[in-house]
Amino acid sequence: MTSTATVQYELATTFHRALTTRDWALMREIMAPEVSWTLPGDNAISDPVTGIDEVIARAELIASYGLTFTLEHVLVSRDNMALGLHNTARRGELVLDEHLATVCTLRDGRIVAIETYLSDLDGMNAFFARDAAR
């Protein structure tokens, strides 16, 4: 791997590790203060957020639903990277089973923007419904 690809891979795997272990301090280390995160849909986690505190709060909220975040691929471009994930969870009768790409824009070795692409938007909206009890 090139040195750029090595940094991208390390950022991707660190992001995944921080999310799965709920290590918010580690997540804070790899993100720029002005980081933003955009997710599609109309649900409790879909509003865009900006700033490291809001992005980490969003990650905490997502993790609080008990998801299993399986890292399937790390994809790199010339300057940025993406995580190919398979997220699963069950809450009562609701089942979440979605594939997603979490695309990260990088600058100076840190994540400055995250945009998530989903395979099952209707399933995500149902699972993360705004009025749903976790």
**What is the Cα 76 distance to its own chain's centre?**
16
Say which residue the tokens 């109309």 belong to.
42
Q: What is the dihedral of CA 105, 73, 129, 31, to 10 degrees?
A: -30
Q: What is the pTM of this model?
A: 0.92
Q: What confidence category does residue 131 fall into, taking pLDDT thresholds of 50, 70 and 90?
A: confident
Rounded (5°) CA angle 126-129-132: 115
Which spans in the chain are helix H?
3-21, 24-29, 52-64, 121-127
Residue 133 scores a pLDDT above 60: no
Report pLDDT for 22: 97
Half-sphere exposure of 34 (CA within 13 A, CB side): 4
Compute the mean pLDDT over every residue in the chain, rounded to the nearest whole number: 94
10 Å CB burial of residue 122 (0-12, 13-18, 19+) is exposed
72-126, pLDDT tens digit by residue? 999 999 999 999 999 999 999 999 999 999 999 999 999 999 999 999 999 999 9
Report pLDDT for 130: 87
Report pLDDT for 4: 81
Report pLDDT for 3: 76
